[in-house]
A = this chain, B = another copy of it.
Amino acid sequence: MNNLRLQRVRHFMVEARIDHLLLSSPDAIYYLLDVSFNPGERMLVLSITQSETKLIISALFPIQRDLGVEVIHFNDSQNPIALLAGDIRDGITVGIDKNWPSHFLLQLMSLKKEVHYMEGSLCIDHARLCKDDEEIKRMREASKINDQVISEIIEIIKTEGKKGNLTERALQKKVVEINEKLGVHEMSFTPTICFGANGAQPHHDTDDTILTENQAIVIDIGGRANGYCSDMTRSLYFGTPSEKYKMVYELVLKANLAAIEAVKPGVPLSEIDAAARRVISDAGYGEYFTHRTGHGIGIMVHEFPDVSDQSKSICQEGMIFSIEPGIYLLDAFGVRIEDLVCVTSSGCEVLNAYPKALISIM
């Protein structure tokens, strides 16, 4: 597994004319070596050439098993950048991890001047663009757990909502507790719970707003299970929905389904964005769909590709991304319906199974 992934990275290094790649992002190293490090301020680099792979890491992080690559430990009295500089040949192009803290790069540049430096993360981002079987399996499992979480959360709204003291924050806490009960100890992102007009802000910070009758609800949640992220949104109504809410809900659902229908290998991702946007624009609500249709997801909650009108990517088998159209009516309510999809040879597999028909809780 690791070797195939490393081979993909090396392929993209050749394409990008990068001779030596220095990766530092923990998620990139997790992808290639299936091991998580949190090095804090200390340098951590996976150094990749066409012939060698070396992990350069502080001796404070003992390596417990064979990672299939050479491990070079340094202690606090050694300068790891000098170690690195000594290993880089003159005259080559060195690819740098996009997130490497600048002080490491500036020090390397002063110790090793005779090379060309460029951003190198595209090699790993491209390698991760299409998920392999093991990754798809983990993504399925993570979304299955997320389905269970949302189902329990909606049950809680049914039983607790009428008591008149259910706050967004209390429900947010429940999301974390249910995940923990299901063995998920890390959220993909801070769970977003919006009551009423709060849902009209796509990035509302969950607060102490209390659920009251005749309010729309937006729930956007995800957890990281076995290293891979889930992410889904369901919108529902507490009380009797107005005709307008029902109409907007059906519109967003139609956009969600149209985009899912458009997914298959060979289709530009901008076309998938357009498929959702067209439904909403044709009904006159285009200006209220204020964000892209979706984003890639995997080890990180936001990865390549980008599902937007700016996207240059073409749909390929194994890509996993979100489909999450929304309509946001300021001071009134918001509706967003989000699923993750995995591109198959002929279309896509929707990773979320929780129903999408309008739920109104009386």
Number of chain A residues close to chain B: CB under 8 A? 18
Name the contact of A97 in the complex, choosing from B98, B102, B117 (C-beta under 8 A): B102
**Copies of this chain, count:** 2
Does A141 sit within 8 A of B, measured CB to CB? no
Chain B residues with Cβ under 8 A from A118's Cβ? 106
Which residues of B lie under 8 Å from residue A41 when comparing CB positions?
302
Question: How near does chain B come to A110, taking the closest CB pair, in angstroms?
Answer: 8
Check if A99 is an interface residue, CB within 8 A of chain B: yes
Nearest chain B residue, comparing its CB with the CB of A24 = B102
Please tell me if the beta carbons of A119 and B106 are within 8 angstroms of each other in the complex.
yes
Task: Mark contacts of A104-126 with chain B using CB atoms, 8 A cut-off: 1 yes-contact digit, 0 otherwise.
Answer: 11110000000001110100000
Contact partners of A354 in chain B: CB under 8 A: none
Closest to A60 in B: B203
Chain B residue, CB-CB nearest to A117: B106
In the complex, which residue of chain B has the Cβ closest to the Cβ of A104? B102
- Docked complex Cα distance between A123 and B353 (Å): 54
Write out the residue numbers on chain B whose beta carbons fall within 8 Å of the beta carbon of A163: none
A239 to B296, alpha carbons, bound, how many Å?
Answer: 54
Minimum CB–CB distance from A67 to chain B (whole Å) comes to 21
* Given A106-B117, A118-B106, A99-B101 contact (CB < 8 Å): yes
- Chain B residues with CB below 8 A from A97, complex form: 102
Partner of A119 from B100, B102, B302 at Cβ < 8 Å: B102
Q: A106-B117, A106-B118, A118-B106 are in contact. Are A100 and B101 (CB under 8 A)?
A: yes
A302 to B40, CA, bound (A): 11
Do B100 and A96 touch across chains, with their CB atoms under 8 A apart? Answer: no
CA–CA, A100 and B118, complex, Å: 15
Chain B neighbourhood of A104, CB < 8 A: 102
**Interface status of A103 (Cβ within 8 A of chain B):** yes
Tell me the A56-87 residues at the B interface (CB within 8 Å): none
CA distance A35 to B134 in the complex (A): 43
Closest Cβ of chain B to A19, distance in Å, is 16
B-side contacts of A98, CB under 8 Å: 101-103
Sorted nearest first, the 8 A-B pairs with minimum C-beta distance are: A98-B103, A100-B102, A102-B105, A103-B119, A99-B101, A96-B102, A106-B119, A102-B102
Beyond A97-B102, A102-B104, A106-B119, 13 extra complex contacts between A and B, CB < 8 Å? A41-B302, A98-B102, A99-B101, A99-B102, A100-B101, A100-B102, A101-B101, A102-B102, A102-B105, A103-B119, A105-B105, A105-B106, A106-B118
Subset of 12 A-B contacts with CB under 8 Å: A41-B302, A96-B102, A96-B103, A97-B102, A98-B101, A98-B103, A99-B102, A101-B101, A102-B105, A103-B121, A105-B105, A106-B118
